[in-house]
Structure 1
Amino acid sequence: MKIVINGIHANLRFSAAHMIPEHESCGCIHGHSYIVDVKVEGKRSGKHGFVADFKDVKDIVRRICNEFDHKLLIPLRNPLINFTSTSRAVKFEIAGKKYTIPEEDCCLLDLESSSAEELSRYFASTLFKELSSRYDISSVEVCVNEGIGQGAVYTISR
């Protein structure tokens, strides 16, 4: 059985800035109003026969959304970004452009990119791990939309 949560209607969203280093149009800092859609598949279990409680799913996704909201998303493992500091002020260089951003304005991610593809993988992996400790989950699918109708989907399953 599968449960589905529509991010627009469930208010699973965040606004954030990011950049895709050395990309022709996305290489500069720009932002999106992201919407996160979720599907969770598994066996119905427990007292109420849920695949997973909608509240639990939304709480996890909202926590991540809140961490990202109104921040500059910076991937720490991107080989095109040369960091000189990540404390107090995040200082880095990309293709000769130097940036200094207050640490509190940044969300440093253990990712290679802040693309919709990588963000969907991050949400799905985190959600799968946390839900699997409470429910009999077989897969989690997350779509991170960079606006209505444009997003990336990642599915993780056991």
Structure 2
Amino acid sequence: MAERGTKMGFPEILFNLFPGMGAMTLLGRKIGYTKAEKVILSGKLYTAEEMYELGAVDVLVDPGSGEQAVYDFIRKEARQRNGALALRAARELSQPIAHDELMRIAEIWVDAALRLESKDLRMMERLVMRQTGKVETAHTGDSVVLSA
């Protein structure tokens, strides 16, 4: 569920890593592994509308109505509880997520993280600062210079 205009993505590739906590497993099962790999490797921020079109977002709502949409979803699920639970159980049977798979992916992620270089760590720091709003911007003509 996402509000229109919300942006989301997987920035890890920008600092030479990948999202290793189930993103490939879960997103791959949701939208297909080829699309999931393309999304993850792009490093792009996608709008909620784009993720909805890809099939990664199930419910798209207007800005400011996300909380109410969650309550509406819960009420609807309560009315269909038996059928919804049975459907999810069938999906888990047909698309199981094995603990071993997640652990092995985590091991691959750790190995990749240990190979990061200082330039990758600097990029990670810049992204964190941008995300937390701790980056100052200086306008120089038509360009914006980011500095930490």
Give the helix-richer structure, 1 or 2. Answer: 2
More strand by share: 1
Same fold (TM over 0.5): no
* TM-score category (smaller protein): under 0.3
Q: Report the TM-score, using the length of structure 2 for normalisation.
A: 0.20
Which structure: larger Rg?
Answer: 2
